[in-house]
Amino acid sequence: MSVTQAEGPRFPRQQLPEKFCNLERLVDGMSRRKLDGIVVSTPYNVFYLSGFSGIAHKSDEPRPYAVVISRHAPDNPVLLLADYYVSSLMSQPTWITDVRSFRAVMLPLDIPPAKNDIDRFISAGSGANGWVQNVRNNFSNSISAACRGALADLGLSQGRVAFDDMRFGFQLGMDDVEVVDGYDPMMYARAVKTEHEITMLKRSTALNQAAIEQSIASWQRGMTWREFNHVYHCAAVNLGGFVRDPGAMIWGHPQGVDSTVMLQSGLEDFEVRQGLHVMFDCHGTLDLYCWDGGKTWVVDGELVGTARTNASATSEAAAVVMAAMRPGTRVSELQALGRSVYRKAGVSAADSVLIFFHGLGLSHMDLEQVTADGAPNADWCLEAGMVVPLHILYPGPETERVWVEEVVQVTADGGVPFFSWGFDPITST
Protein backbone atom coordinates (compact mmCIF):
# COMPACT_ATOMS: atom_id res chain seq x y z
CA MET A 1 0.00 0.00 0.00
CA SER A 2 1.42 3.40 -0.93
CA VAL A 3 1.87 6.16 1.63
CA THR A 4 -0.79 8.85 1.18
CA GLN A 5 -0.26 12.55 1.65
CA ALA A 6 -2.55 12.51 4.69
CA GLU A 7 -0.44 9.84 6.37
CA GLY A 8 2.82 11.68 5.76
CA PRO A 9 6.21 10.12 5.15
CA ARG A 10 7.46 7.26 7.32
CA PHE A 11 10.90 8.90 7.35
CA PRO A 12 10.16 12.62 7.87
CA ARG A 13 12.83 15.29 7.83
CA GLN A 14 14.08 16.04 11.31
CA GLN A 15 16.48 18.37 13.05
CA LEU A 16 19.95 16.83 13.01
CA PRO A 17 22.53 16.92 15.81
CA GLU A 18 24.38 20.22 15.95
CA LYS A 19 27.63 18.33 15.36
CA PHE A 20 28.00 14.96 13.62
CA CYS A 21 31.35 15.30 11.82
CA ASN A 22 34.52 13.40 12.71
CA LEU A 23 36.51 16.47 13.68
CA GLU A 24 39.24 14.50 15.45
CA ARG A 25 39.96 12.52 12.29
CA LEU A 26 39.98 15.70 10.19
CA VAL A 27 42.63 17.18 12.48
CA ASP A 28 44.63 13.95 12.14
CA GLY A 29 44.34 14.15 8.36
CA MET A 30 45.52 17.75 8.39
CA SER A 31 48.49 16.79 10.54
CA ARG A 32 49.42 13.94 8.20
CA ARG A 33 49.46 16.37 5.29
CA LYS A 34 51.16 19.17 7.22
CA LEU A 35 48.23 21.52 6.72
CA ASP A 36 47.80 24.64 8.83
CA GLY A 37 44.16 24.97 7.90
CA ILE A 38 41.39 23.95 5.57
CA VAL A 39 38.63 25.87 3.79
CA VAL A 40 35.64 23.94 2.47
CA SER A 41 33.05 25.52 0.20
CA THR A 42 31.48 22.57 -1.60
CA PRO A 43 27.95 21.76 -0.39
CA TYR A 44 28.52 18.33 1.16
CA ASN A 45 31.67 19.35 3.02
CA VAL A 46 30.04 22.50 4.40
CA PHE A 47 27.10 20.38 5.57
CA TYR A 48 29.45 17.78 7.04
CA LEU A 49 31.39 20.30 9.12
CA SER A 50 28.57 22.65 10.11
CA GLY A 51 25.20 20.92 9.65
CA PHE A 52 24.12 23.69 7.26
CA SER A 53 22.30 22.55 4.10
CA GLY A 54 21.25 25.39 1.85
CA ILE A 55 18.16 25.13 -0.28
CA ALA A 56 18.16 26.10 -3.99
CA HIS A 57 21.94 26.15 -4.55
CA LYS A 58 23.28 24.20 -7.54
CA SER A 59 26.73 22.65 -7.55
CA ASP A 60 28.20 24.80 -10.36
CA GLU A 61 27.00 28.15 -9.00
CA PRO A 62 29.30 30.59 -7.17
CA ARG A 63 29.90 29.43 -3.60
CA PRO A 64 27.48 31.07 -1.13
CA TYR A 65 29.08 29.50 1.98
CA ALA A 66 32.30 28.17 3.46
CA VAL A 67 33.80 26.76 6.65
CA VAL A 68 37.31 27.77 7.73
CA ILE A 69 39.19 25.61 10.25
CA SER A 70 42.67 25.99 11.72
CA ARG A 71 44.49 22.82 12.70
CA HIS A 72 45.89 24.77 15.65
CA ALA A 73 42.42 25.78 16.92
CA PRO A 74 39.98 23.22 15.49
CA ASP A 75 37.29 23.91 18.08
CA ASN A 76 36.94 27.51 16.90
CA PRO A 77 36.08 27.39 13.19
CA VAL A 78 34.31 30.09 11.21
CA LEU A 79 31.11 29.52 9.20
CA LEU A 80 30.51 31.95 6.33
CA LEU A 81 26.98 32.23 4.93
CA ALA A 82 25.37 34.36 2.26
CA ASP A 83 23.02 36.86 3.83
CA TYR A 84 19.88 35.05 2.64
CA TYR A 85 20.96 31.80 4.34
CA VAL A 86 21.46 33.21 7.85
CA SER A 87 17.92 32.52 9.02
CA SER A 88 18.33 28.79 8.24
CA LEU A 89 20.38 28.43 11.43
CA MET A 90 17.22 28.92 13.46
CA SER A 91 15.83 25.62 12.15
CA GLN A 92 19.07 23.64 12.07
CA PRO A 93 21.51 24.91 14.72
CA THR A 94 25.25 24.50 14.27
CA TRP A 95 28.02 23.83 16.77
CA ILE A 96 30.05 26.62 15.15
CA THR A 97 29.65 29.79 17.22
CA ASP A 98 31.60 32.16 14.94
CA VAL A 99 29.11 32.75 12.11
CA ARG A 100 29.72 35.53 9.61
CA SER A 101 27.85 36.74 6.55
CA PHE A 102 28.32 38.68 3.34
CA ARG A 103 26.34 40.49 0.68
CA ALA A 104 24.97 38.22 -2.04
CA VAL A 105 22.68 38.33 -5.04
CA MET A 106 19.48 39.57 -3.34
CA LEU A 107 20.61 42.95 -2.01
CA PRO A 108 20.10 45.89 -4.39
CA LEU A 109 22.84 47.38 -6.53
CA ASP A 110 20.83 50.43 -7.53
CA ILE A 111 20.87 52.06 -4.05
CA PRO A 112 23.79 52.58 -1.67
CA PRO A 113 24.50 49.72 0.77
CA ALA A 114 23.42 50.30 4.36
CA LYS A 115 25.19 49.12 7.49
CA ASN A 116 22.07 47.28 8.66
CA ASP A 117 21.34 45.47 5.37
CA ILE A 118 21.91 42.14 7.08
CA ASP A 119 18.94 42.84 9.38
CA ARG A 120 16.63 42.13 6.44
CA PHE A 121 17.57 38.48 6.88
CA ILE A 122 17.51 38.22 10.68
CA SER A 123 14.09 37.59 12.19
CA ALA A 124 12.98 39.13 15.47
CA GLY A 125 12.76 35.65 16.98
CA SER A 126 16.46 34.99 16.54
CA GLY A 127 17.59 37.43 19.21
CA ALA A 128 18.41 34.69 21.71
CA ASN A 129 20.86 32.99 19.37
CA GLY A 130 24.45 33.78 20.22
CA TRP A 131 25.57 34.02 16.61
CA VAL A 132 23.23 36.90 15.71
CA GLN A 133 25.33 39.78 17.03
CA ASN A 134 28.43 38.21 15.57
CA VAL A 135 26.77 38.16 12.15
CA ARG A 136 25.88 41.83 12.50
CA ASN A 137 29.43 42.71 13.49
CA ASN A 138 31.00 40.68 10.70
CA PHE A 139 29.10 41.51 7.52
CA SER A 140 31.34 41.68 4.44
CA ASN A 141 30.85 42.82 0.88
CA SER A 142 31.74 39.41 -0.61
CA ILE A 143 32.57 35.85 0.33
CA SER A 144 36.18 36.50 -0.66
CA ALA A 145 36.47 39.40 1.78
CA ALA A 146 34.74 37.37 4.49
CA CYS A 147 37.05 34.41 3.93
CA ARG A 148 40.22 36.54 3.96
CA GLY A 149 39.06 38.04 7.26
CA ALA A 150 38.36 34.62 8.76
CA LEU A 151 41.76 33.29 7.66
CA ALA A 152 43.50 36.30 9.20
CA ASP A 153 41.61 35.95 12.49
CA LEU A 154 42.55 32.26 12.68
CA GLY A 155 46.23 32.98 12.01
CA LEU A 156 46.08 31.55 8.51
CA SER A 157 47.16 34.57 6.48
CA GLN A 158 50.25 32.54 5.71
CA GLY A 159 51.05 28.86 5.70
CA ARG A 160 49.74 25.76 4.00
CA VAL A 161 45.94 25.81 3.60
CA ALA A 162 43.86 23.21 1.78
CA PHE A 163 40.76 24.13 -0.24
CA ASP A 164 38.23 21.60 -1.45
CA ASP A 165 37.69 24.05 -4.34
CA MET A 166 41.18 25.21 -5.28
CA ARG A 167 39.76 27.80 -7.68
CA PHE A 168 38.24 29.60 -4.70
CA GLY A 169 41.57 29.45 -2.88
CA PHE A 170 43.45 31.05 -5.77
CA GLN A 171 40.75 33.72 -6.16
CA LEU A 172 41.50 34.98 -2.65
CA GLY A 173 44.85 36.28 -3.89
CA MET A 174 46.72 35.69 -0.62
CA ASP A 175 50.38 35.59 -1.64
CA ASP A 176 51.63 34.10 1.62
CA VAL A 177 49.13 31.22 1.59
CA GLU A 178 50.12 27.99 -0.13
CA VAL A 179 46.91 26.72 -1.71
CA VAL A 180 46.73 22.91 -1.83
CA ASP A 181 44.02 20.39 -2.68
CA GLY A 182 41.59 19.72 0.16
CA TYR A 183 39.68 16.81 -1.41
CA ASP A 184 41.63 13.96 0.16
CA PRO A 185 41.93 15.31 3.71
CA MET A 186 38.17 15.78 3.78
CA MET A 187 37.52 12.30 2.39
CA TYR A 188 39.95 10.88 4.93
CA ALA A 189 37.82 12.43 7.69
CA ARG A 190 34.52 11.36 6.14
CA ALA A 191 35.65 7.74 5.65
CA VAL A 192 35.18 6.82 9.31
CA LYS A 193 31.67 7.55 10.51
CA THR A 194 30.54 8.96 13.85
CA GLU A 195 27.67 7.33 15.70
CA HIS A 196 25.33 10.07 14.49
CA GLU A 197 26.30 9.28 10.88
CA ILE A 198 25.77 5.55 11.42
CA THR A 199 22.26 6.31 12.64
CA MET A 200 21.52 8.45 9.57
CA LEU A 201 22.84 5.80 7.18
CA LYS A 202 20.79 3.07 8.86
CA ARG A 203 17.74 5.28 8.49
CA SER A 204 18.34 5.90 4.78
CA THR A 205 18.93 2.18 4.19
CA ALA A 206 15.65 1.33 5.91
CA LEU A 207 13.86 3.77 3.61
CA ASN A 208 15.41 2.13 0.54
CA GLN A 209 14.39 -1.36 1.69
CA ALA A 210 10.84 -0.18 2.29
CA ALA A 211 10.71 1.47 -1.16
CA ILE A 212 11.94 -1.70 -2.86
CA GLU A 213 9.41 -3.85 -1.01
CA GLN A 214 6.58 -1.45 -1.89
CA SER A 215 7.66 -1.46 -5.55
CA ILE A 216 7.65 -5.25 -5.74
CA ALA A 217 4.19 -5.33 -4.15
CA SER A 218 2.99 -2.83 -6.77
CA TRP A 219 4.18 -4.82 -9.79
CA GLN A 220 1.47 -5.86 -12.25
CA ARG A 221 1.60 -7.99 -15.36
CA GLY A 222 2.34 -5.88 -18.42
CA MET A 223 4.20 -3.20 -16.43
CA THR A 224 7.11 -1.67 -18.33
CA TRP A 225 10.58 -0.94 -16.99
CA ARG A 226 10.00 2.83 -17.04
CA GLU A 227 6.70 2.39 -15.23
CA PHE A 228 8.39 0.21 -12.64
CA ASN A 229 11.16 2.78 -12.15
CA HIS A 230 8.49 5.42 -11.61
CA VAL A 231 6.82 3.22 -9.00
CA TYR A 232 10.12 3.01 -7.10
CA HIS A 233 10.72 6.77 -7.37
CA CYS A 234 7.24 7.52 -6.02
CA ALA A 235 7.68 5.04 -3.18
CA ALA A 236 11.03 6.55 -2.18
CA VAL A 237 9.70 10.12 -2.25
CA ASN A 238 6.47 9.22 -0.45
CA LEU A 239 8.53 7.62 2.29
CA GLY A 240 10.46 10.88 2.72
CA GLY A 241 13.55 10.45 0.53
CA PHE A 242 14.96 12.11 -2.58
CA VAL A 243 16.16 10.69 -5.91
CA ARG A 244 18.00 12.35 -8.80
CA ASP A 245 17.92 12.44 -12.60
CA PRO A 246 17.95 10.28 -14.64
CA GLY A 247 16.77 7.72 -12.09
CA ALA A 248 17.38 5.90 -8.85
CA MET A 249 17.71 2.33 -10.13
CA ILE A 250 21.24 1.91 -11.42
CA TRP A 251 21.71 -1.40 -13.23
CA GLY A 252 20.77 -1.91 -16.85
CA HIS A 253 18.94 -5.14 -17.63
CA PRO A 254 19.99 -6.57 -21.01
CA GLN A 255 17.38 -8.89 -22.46
CA GLY A 256 17.45 -12.57 -23.36
CA VAL A 257 20.87 -14.25 -23.32
CA ASP A 258 22.78 -10.95 -23.30
CA SER A 259 24.99 -10.93 -20.19
CA THR A 260 26.66 -7.54 -20.75
CA VAL A 261 27.37 -5.60 -17.55
CA MET A 262 25.75 -2.19 -18.05
CA LEU A 263 24.11 0.68 -16.24
CA GLN A 264 20.79 2.06 -17.34
CA SER A 265 20.49 5.44 -19.05
CA GLY A 266 16.87 6.12 -18.17
CA LEU A 267 15.82 5.65 -21.79
CA GLU A 268 15.45 1.86 -21.86
CA ASP A 269 12.04 0.28 -21.82
CA PHE A 270 10.79 -3.30 -21.87
CA GLU A 271 8.18 -5.41 -20.15
CA VAL A 272 9.04 -6.50 -16.61
CA ARG A 273 8.06 -10.07 -17.35
CA GLN A 274 7.45 -12.99 -15.05
CA GLY A 275 10.74 -14.80 -14.36
CA LEU A 276 12.99 -11.81 -15.15
CA HIS A 277 15.80 -11.26 -12.64
CA VAL A 278 15.59 -7.60 -11.58
CA MET A 279 18.73 -6.30 -9.88
CA PHE A 280 17.85 -3.61 -7.36
CA ASP A 281 20.75 -1.20 -6.93
CA CYS A 282 19.00 1.96 -5.80
CA HIS A 283 20.47 5.36 -4.99
CA GLY A 284 18.94 8.26 -3.13
CA THR A 285 19.32 10.42 -0.03
CA LEU A 286 17.67 11.11 3.28
CA ASP A 287 19.00 14.09 5.25
CA LEU A 288 21.68 14.18 2.51
CA TYR A 289 23.05 10.78 3.60
CA CYS A 290 23.02 8.23 0.80
CA TRP A 291 21.23 4.96 0.52
CA ASP A 292 22.53 2.28 -1.80
CA GLY A 293 21.98 -1.32 -2.70
CA GLY A 294 19.37 -4.00 -2.86
CA LYS A 295 19.36 -7.49 -4.28
CA THR A 296 17.82 -9.76 -6.91
CA TRP A 297 14.07 -10.11 -7.39
CA VAL A 298 12.72 -12.96 -9.50
CA VAL A 299 9.60 -11.38 -10.93
CA ASP A 300 6.56 -13.36 -9.81
CA GLY A 301 8.56 -16.58 -9.92
CA GLU A 302 11.23 -18.89 -8.50
CA LEU A 303 14.88 -19.61 -9.13
CA VAL A 304 15.14 -22.14 -11.92
CA GLY A 305 17.98 -24.43 -13.00
CA THR A 306 21.42 -22.82 -13.11
CA ALA A 307 20.08 -19.76 -11.29
CA ARG A 308 19.70 -21.82 -8.09
CA THR A 309 23.41 -22.66 -8.06
CA ASN A 310 24.38 -19.09 -8.94
CA ALA A 311 22.19 -17.66 -6.18
CA SER A 312 23.38 -20.14 -3.56
CA ALA A 313 27.04 -19.39 -4.32
CA THR A 314 26.36 -15.65 -4.29
CA SER A 315 24.64 -15.77 -0.90
CA GLU A 316 27.45 -17.86 0.56
CA ALA A 317 30.11 -15.57 -0.89
CA ALA A 318 28.38 -12.49 0.51
CA ALA A 319 28.16 -14.04 3.98
CA VAL A 320 31.82 -15.11 3.97
CA VAL A 321 33.06 -11.75 2.70
CA MET A 322 30.92 -9.75 5.13
CA ALA A 323 32.26 -11.78 8.05
CA ALA A 324 35.79 -10.91 6.89
CA MET A 325 35.14 -7.15 6.68
CA ARG A 326 37.35 -6.29 9.64
CA PRO A 327 39.83 -3.45 10.16
CA GLY A 328 43.12 -4.07 8.36
CA THR A 329 41.64 -6.12 5.51
CA ARG A 330 42.29 -4.91 1.99
CA VAL A 331 39.74 -4.85 -0.83
CA SER A 332 41.79 -7.25 -2.98
CA GLU A 333 41.79 -9.78 -0.14
CA LEU A 334 38.00 -9.62 0.14
CA GLN A 335 37.65 -10.06 -3.61
CA ALA A 336 39.90 -13.12 -3.61
CA LEU A 337 37.98 -14.58 -0.67
CA GLY A 338 34.61 -14.15 -2.35
CA ARG A 339 35.87 -15.59 -5.64
CA SER A 340 37.22 -18.65 -3.82
CA VAL A 341 33.69 -19.41 -2.61
CA TYR A 342 32.43 -19.47 -6.20
CA ARG A 343 35.25 -21.79 -7.25
CA LYS A 344 34.49 -24.21 -4.42
CA ALA A 345 30.81 -24.13 -5.34
CA GLY A 346 31.69 -25.33 -8.83
CA VAL A 347 29.91 -22.55 -10.72
CA SER A 348 31.09 -21.75 -14.21
CA ALA A 349 33.11 -18.61 -14.96
CA ALA A 350 33.98 -17.67 -11.37
CA ASP A 351 36.45 -15.13 -12.74
CA SER A 352 33.57 -13.24 -14.39
CA VAL A 353 32.04 -12.40 -11.00
CA LEU A 354 32.34 -8.74 -10.01
CA ILE A 355 33.04 -8.14 -6.31
CA PHE A 356 33.65 -4.51 -5.44
CA PHE A 357 33.46 -1.96 -2.65
CA HIS A 358 33.33 1.77 -1.97
CA GLY A 359 32.66 4.05 0.95
CA LEU A 360 29.20 5.40 1.68
CA GLY A 361 28.08 8.53 3.46
CA LEU A 362 27.38 11.89 1.88
CA SER A 363 28.66 10.37 -1.36
CA HIS A 364 29.17 6.93 -2.86
CA MET A 365 32.88 7.19 -2.27
CA ASP A 366 33.86 8.88 1.02
CA LEU A 367 37.42 7.64 0.52
CA GLU A 368 40.67 9.50 -0.08
CA GLN A 369 41.96 8.84 -3.57
CA VAL A 370 45.58 9.67 -2.71
CA THR A 371 47.01 9.04 0.76
CA ALA A 372 49.04 11.53 2.78
CA ASP A 373 52.29 9.99 1.50
CA GLY A 374 51.20 10.49 -2.12
CA ALA A 375 50.31 6.87 -2.90
CA PRO A 376 47.17 5.98 -4.90
CA ASN A 377 44.53 4.49 -2.62
CA ALA A 378 43.12 1.90 -5.04
CA ASP A 379 43.55 -1.25 -2.94
CA TRP A 380 42.42 0.47 0.23
CA CYS A 381 42.29 -0.94 3.72
CA LEU A 382 39.14 -1.21 5.85
CA GLU A 383 38.98 0.70 9.13
CA ALA A 384 36.63 0.36 12.07
CA GLY A 385 33.67 2.70 11.68
CA MET A 386 33.65 2.71 7.90
CA VAL A 387 30.37 2.06 6.12
CA VAL A 388 31.18 0.02 3.02
CA PRO A 389 28.67 -1.44 0.55
CA LEU A 390 29.52 -5.00 -0.50
CA HIS A 391 28.61 -5.63 -4.16
CA ILE A 392 28.54 -9.03 -5.82
CA LEU A 393 27.33 -9.54 -9.39
CA TYR A 394 27.20 -12.93 -11.07
CA PRO A 395 26.53 -11.80 -14.66
CA GLY A 396 24.43 -13.85 -17.00
CA PRO A 397 21.25 -14.04 -19.08
CA GLU A 398 18.07 -12.41 -17.81
CA THR A 399 16.95 -15.49 -15.85
CA GLU A 400 20.36 -16.52 -14.46
CA ARG A 401 22.15 -13.38 -13.30
CA VAL A 402 22.31 -12.76 -9.56
CA TRP A 403 23.10 -9.58 -7.70
CA VAL A 404 23.36 -8.57 -4.07
CA GLU A 405 24.53 -5.33 -2.48
CA GLU A 406 24.62 -5.09 1.30
CA VAL A 407 25.47 -1.91 3.23
CA VAL A 408 28.00 -2.97 5.86
CA GLN A 409 29.46 -1.32 8.95
CA VAL A 410 33.06 -2.42 9.53
CA THR A 411 33.73 -3.62 13.10
CA ALA A 412 36.42 -5.63 14.87
CA ASP A 413 34.04 -8.61 14.86
CA GLY A 414 33.31 -8.42 11.13
CA GLY A 415 30.76 -6.63 9.02
CA VAL A 416 27.34 -5.65 10.38
CA PRO A 417 24.55 -5.48 7.74
CA PHE A 418 22.11 -2.59 7.52
CA PHE A 419 19.47 -4.40 5.43
CA SER A 420 17.30 -6.83 7.38
CA TRP A 421 16.46 -9.26 4.57
CA GLY A 422 19.61 -11.37 4.07
CA PHE A 423 21.31 -12.22 0.77
CA ASP A 424 18.94 -14.64 -0.96
CA PRO A 425 16.93 -13.41 -3.96
CA ILE A 426 13.35 -12.32 -3.44
CA THR A 427 10.97 -14.86 -4.99
CA SER A 428 7.24 -15.41 -5.06
CA THR A 429 7.35 -17.74 -2.05
Give CA separation, 344 vs 313, 332, 338, in Å. 9, 19, 10
What is the rounded average pLDDT of the residues 218-244? Answer: 98
Confidence of residue 129 (pLDDT cuts 50, 70, 90): low
Mean pLDDT for the chain?
95
Q: Do domains 23-191 and 195-417 have the same CATH topology?
A: no
Q: Give the CATH number of domain 195-417.
A: 3.90.230.10
Q: Are 194 and 22 in contact (CB under 8 A)?
A: yes
Phi, psi of 245 (to 5 degrees): -60, 145
Please report which confidence band the pLDDT of residue 409 belongs to, taking 50, 70 and 90 as the band edges. very high
The pLDDT of residue 290? 98
How far apart are alpha carbons 92 and 99 in whole angstroms? 14
Specify whether the CB–CB gap between 197 and 413 falls below 8 A. no
Domain ranges of the chain: 23-191, 195-417
Please give the CATH number for the structural domain made up of 23-191. Answer: 3.40.350.10
pLDDT tens, position by position, 17-44: 999 999 999 999 999 999 999 999 999 9
Is the pLDDT confidence value at 4 over 50?
no
